Structure 1
């Protein structure tokens, strides 16, 4: 960014740098990405109406923590992680999967019907070519409705949990059910057979996967990359680790145990969650300055 508006305060400059770092990590600055397509606009009918709870949740800064949390939770399914290990290249391109997921969520949340359906069709074509065999000798396919169902409920549960803990605007019980129901539209289009349509169904489906989940070597490796060895430096790395701490503080004890993470409820409530909220608020102000060219309230 060259040249600062005269009215931008010194603290805002730091916030703006943080906001630019976040958009860079997510790939949101790439004009060829889904984010670029959203900025270009589309006059077609929106996939979700402007007042949809999906737009409220996915447009909140708490999604930064929700995304990290979702990747941690998803890593517990060994078959899903086998597919990621063999086909996503996340070791050589650790942010690639996060960027692709962020772009997909953005376009299917804020895009037109045409943009959303095009993005869904691209993902389905990719899934059709992803298959393999687990170390135990079991075949897998990325297009398997059961695996797709796990990814769907893990994301929905993580995004809702992060919003409940860190979201700017609270979501009532009715809107939470509407969120799950609306998100089922994307799940169905991707190939999920019976996506949950309210919070109770979401919780029951999430719990139904527990016998399949375990924190093996692949899950621990993904956790190490996401939490302890992110490919970031300086202040951006420090800020990311605070977001990651907020994600850890939102995990249930059994997930932490599987991933080898400490469970400290008092520290979560007294330190980690408040610090994460403070960082999110600062980032939110940074985005306000970045995209409105005016100073945010200190």
Structure 2
């Protein structure tokens, strides 16, 4: 449809297809676990909000931001980014050990949050059976220099491939720790407060989702938190099983959840803009069946290997 704004990414992007996958919810929880391991970054969150009372609100606001920047118009995405940048300029945190006061919009902190999110989205969705070639995975990471700009980063300073993303995590790893703030996030994610009538659902559904997100973290994150995880092969099987079940729910039904970003985008751009995994499949991925990939390193890298490939 000529003259219609496709937004920042558009229907031909990897982002457009991948962000429509239901495993993004598991990926979002993994991102929270990973982000909490940067002491300065998680301190900025906990000192400026009542995370224990408003964690659900934070999750939903993040999901709304991702949905708007992925499927909304360019104007809507730019406005969402401007709101985030404005809020960040007004917030600061204090290091309890040194008394240092610092802004939460420091590039170092923004970059950590960005990379933890992008790595988690790509890692979980891909590991759960979403067919994606290495080249397409690199395209996804590169596309998100756009979202990095929205939150105040210089795109030139942001990883543009899975290799650069892995190198970034290797560089920042010595700074990570599971301090008091990370323990607070962990405690919430394991047992979030809820209405008494919903406690059984929390035990049945949420706990399993949170456990799976935690299990999908890299090995060193498990070591920092001090809680073990199943073997990587078992985690991959659980991710594939969960992804298979969730993807059997009709997409149109899943996309009815407010605020219906995908349906709004399809109404704006036409039915041909419908997100679909096959639109980003590479030749190597097509030869594999769903879930036929396994993790080769267990770390932050998002690269996968086919079965039988030496790692």
TM-score, normalised via structure 2 length: 0.74
Q: How far 1:228 sits from its partner (Å)? A: 3.0
Question: What is the aligned residue count?
Answer: 249
Supply the distance in 1 between the matched residues of 2:240 and 2:117 (Cα, whole angstroms). 23
Q: 1:46/1:273 Cα in 2 relative to 1: closer, same or farther (>3 Å)?
A: closer
Q: Note if 1:201 corresponds to 2:164.
A: yes
Partner in structure 2 of residue 4 of structure 1: none
Task: Identify which of 74, 80, 84 aligns with 1:113.
Answer: 74
Map Cα deviations across residues 13-33 of structure 1 (whole Å, 9 max, x no partner): xxxxxxxxxxxxxxxxxxxxx
Supply the distance in 2 between the matched residues of 1:206 and 1:270 (Cα, whole angstroms). 21
Write 1 or 2 for the structure with the bigger share of helix: 1
Partner in structure 2 of residue 220 of structure 1: 183
Greater mean deviation of Cα atoms: 265-274 or 124-133: 265-274
Supply the distance in 1 between the matched residues of 2:13 and 2:121 (Cα, whole angstroms). 15
Partner secondary structure for residue 85 of structure 2: helix
Supply the distance in 1 between the matched residues of 2:145 and 2:250 (Cα, whole angstroms). 32
Partner secondary structure for residue 53 of structure 2: coil
Q: Note if 1:189 corresponds to 2:154.
A: no
Q: 1:268/1:139 Cα in 2 relative to 1: closer, same or farther (>3 Å)?
A: farther
TM-score, normalised via structure 1 length: 0.77
Map Cα deviations across residues 234-283 of structure 1 (whole Å, 9 max, x no partner): 3355212222222122111110111122132067348643553355345x
Give the conservation status (yes or no) of the 8 Å contact 2:142–2:160: yes
Greater mean deviation of Cα atoms: 121-130 or 242-251: 242-251
Q: How far 1:88 sits from its partner (Å)? A: 2.4
Cα RMSD, aligned residues only: 2.4
Partner in structure 1 of residue 106 of structure 2: 144
Supply the distance in 2 between the matched residues of 1:157 and 1:70 (Cα, whole angstroms). 8
Give the conservation status (yes or no) of the 8 Å contact 2:21–2:247: no
Partner in structure 2 of residue 153 of structure 1: 115
Partner in structure 1 of residue 124 of structure 2: 162
Map Cα deviations across residues 198-218 of structure 1 (whole Å, 9 max, x no partner): 110111112211111101111
